[in-house]
Amino acid sequence: MFIQHMSALAGGTGEWIAKTRSACVAALLVCVGGCAAPGPPLPPTLNLPQMVRAGELTAVRVGGAVKVRWKTGKLTTDKLPVRGAIAAEVCREAAGGPGAAVGCEVVARVAAVPDEWTEAEDVLPKGLAEGPVRLLRYRVRLMNAAGRTAGLSPGVVAAAGTGAGAVKGFVGEATRAGVELRWERNAAGGVVELERTLLDPAVVAKDARRVGMPGEERQVVEVRLRAGDRDEGGVVDRAVEVGHSYRYTAQRVVAAAVGGQAVELRSEVAGPVTVAVRDGFAPDVPGGLVAVPGFGVGGRGVIDLAWDAVVGEREIAKVSGYVVYRRVGDGEWKKLGVVGVAAYRDADVEAGVRYGYRVAAVSTAGNESAAAGEVVEVGPRVP
């Protein structure tokens, strides 16, 4: 009896095993046709901010400090969005020093924001702010909230040593020749770099461009120029227009080359100086005025006038024409007319009468120069 029961149980178990095997095979076939096989498990992300790239890191010597700017990436080393706060450390080392963390002294710690520019300032100690020009290298380390980092960025160089002297006594005023900018001349070296900004909000100059240090708000600047190859204590900006206002800043720049590296030492920015260019300038006085008697149509007597044209194309007070004045004998001066060329014919003369003439130049803004010295001629007699 027991043996029969066991045989029946064995027979049932075999049948169950066979059915189970068939079901598993069928499920396997289905998965082969449409189920994705699970891959190897992914390691957890460390949320490490990507290192600052070399092209997005600058270091500029300004006065007694080095201003370091960089752009923080928005992704981690796993190419995922950065989560949580980011802290940045700026370190400084001698340019000939090691390229790793060893020997790179941390000089600033600031918070950084993904996908934005950040600035840190390294105020140089006396030993680095004075003496001969030499190189420093700056690197940036970005850390996540847990203080972990992907490492130091590539380095950029800046200059140590005695900095550029400040631009002192910086002033400006509008003159007939343009905006005259002046400062105290410094024979110690360097040149003065000027920046001119058009202030009129409704006007956009054709040559305007947006400039600014990385990470700073960029502003419309018409021109950035250097006042000659050496410090002469002033310059005239002739490329201005009547009716506009301009803002100027000045910065002394000393260029140096150390170990094949070109660096600049910049002073603090002087200014701003604001200059309004108004319609208050008259052209130069015309010269060379002559009067020649003659005869016009029908043999009537005339007096021809000629003078030297005023060349003022590089001045604010550009000439638009000339005003001719005349008096009879010792009488009062009266305006004969306005001409656009340096010549005039007076056909309203009488024979034997003495006439005096003067000529003044007038600007496009309507400002009139002083009149040229008087010339006298007598109306010709008909032969």
Round to whole Å and give the CA distance between 139 and 151: 10
Rg (CA), the chain: 41
How does pLDDT run across 236-267, given as a tens digit for each residue? 998 888 888 999 999 999 999 998 899 999 99
- Taking the model in full, what pTM does it have? 0.67
Asked if pLDDT for residue 230 goes beyond 80, the answer is no
Measured CA distances, 260 to 69, 186, 263, 265, 279 (Å): 23, 27, 10, 16, 51
| Contact between residue 271 and residue 353 where contact means Cβ atoms under 8 Å apart | no
pLDDT digits (tens, 9 = 90+) for 326-346: 999 999 999 999 999 999 999
More confident residue, 280 or 87: 87
Stretch (H or E) spanning 335: strand 334-339
Instruction: Give the residue carrying structure tokens 């490492």.
Output: 151
Q: What is the spatial distance between Cα 311 and Cα 287, in angstroms, rounded to a whole number?
A: 11
Q: Which tokens belong to 55?
A: 């092209």
- pLDDT, average across residues 208-221: 47
- Alpha-carbon distance of 127 to 170, in angstroms, equals 30
Q: What is the pLDDT of residues 170-205, one digit of tens each?
A: 999 998 888 999 999 988 788 999 999 888 765 544
Residue 22: strand, helix, or coil: helix
- More confident site: 201 or 94: 94
42 pLDDT exceeds 70?
A: no
DSSP 29: H
- Return the ∠ at Cα 267 (arms to 264 and 273), rounded to 5°: 130
**Which pLDDT band holds residue 7 (cuts at 50, 70, 90)?**
very low
Placement of tokens 């070109």 in the chain: 262
